[in-house]
Structure 1
């Protein structure tokens, strides 16, 4: 069977999970897509790590354009988007996303793999042990833009939506939790658009990429994940509105730590 067809089929299944988690947590799904797609491209397509890592990150960002839109649309209908917060975070996050994508496409695949896995462990530990304390100050325009820029840079570097970075930062500055998740969902869309465009431009003249790529974006994986995830993102947003997601977030964080360790020691 053609490797592209196998990867497409696997990504159809992956998209069901990714979309649900994106809607529930505002995380964009990249924390799952990047390690899973890295494994698929190496084991199924027979590609090398140097090719795979920027492709996995870029492809993850491309899927978030669609899952982010679906998730953000659901949060808009639920009244979770606050214009002031979204505007100023969005300005910063768009600039950070462009820079992060350029850095990710310029460094070696091995270094990018280790940076991704290490940051994923840090994020997972924050999800488990992070406290939802509040600052004594509300976020100003410059603060929101700075939070957005930092989140956008790391998110584009890792191929994630940015929710795991934005949500705790916004909650610290006294933003309502559900409004913070809604903002993260929409800002994930901004990260995805600017980050994907940057990866496409950076990869257009690369000669070592396999067929069916647009820049660094691997289209069979993008289409597979998007086909199913756009339906489950809205479901995840509605479920997250009704249930306490604390336990689920800790379980997800534990899985991310295991995956990160596996990436560091097991993918060459």
Structure 2
């Protein structure tokens, strides 16, 4: 007769009794992870090796050129991308979080209009980005007469990532234990005080992670900007929200479509810059998650 003296011994006994199917399932999952990481590593190694000759200060200090790729850069694409992502964060994140708070904390889920809202949010999260580009072109750029500007691009991309922000924020708010709310309300706090001081701070790690993932999708989009008429060769940085612009994905697409090998090297270097910006954003999300994460 075996005596369970510690939790570790209980875990060991549980592992000894696992069926062979569970071991096969674990091996399959581990193999899938290794294959995915292997392909990602191969892609990163190839891009870095290809763009290494152009990974210097000229890349982010110079403007793009179709005549002299050896001295061309992607400065306008970097600044355009930062403008778009900054405005998208300002518009999509507060709106998405507040919508999630309403749907989780205030909405009556038995009402037909709340069910309709939830259904539409789930459907919009799966809509292809080119559809949002058509929406931005027809309504924002032409009907509202915003033109092909930074504001048009930011609003279009905000609509693209808004369902993702709402869904991730709802999951983070839902993960907060009900006892937190009940304890706050029992001590005399109002519902809004409970949400603002207890629920939202506890949900920050999940909200931050989901928001960065949404912005990470936005930073790599090219289809909506192609529909909006964003130029691929812009030799100036945006001066405001009503200025013309370009973004790194469009510049990379333009360089790849050229026949000269120098443009392909330049495109690989621009991909590395785009990945560096994406890695920085993800690092911020990881820091926020570790800084505010709580164990329940």
Normalized against structure 2, the TM-score is what?
A: 0.32
Whose RCO is larger (CA < 8 A, sep 6+)? 1
Higher helix proportion: 1
Flag the structure with larger Rg. Answer: 2
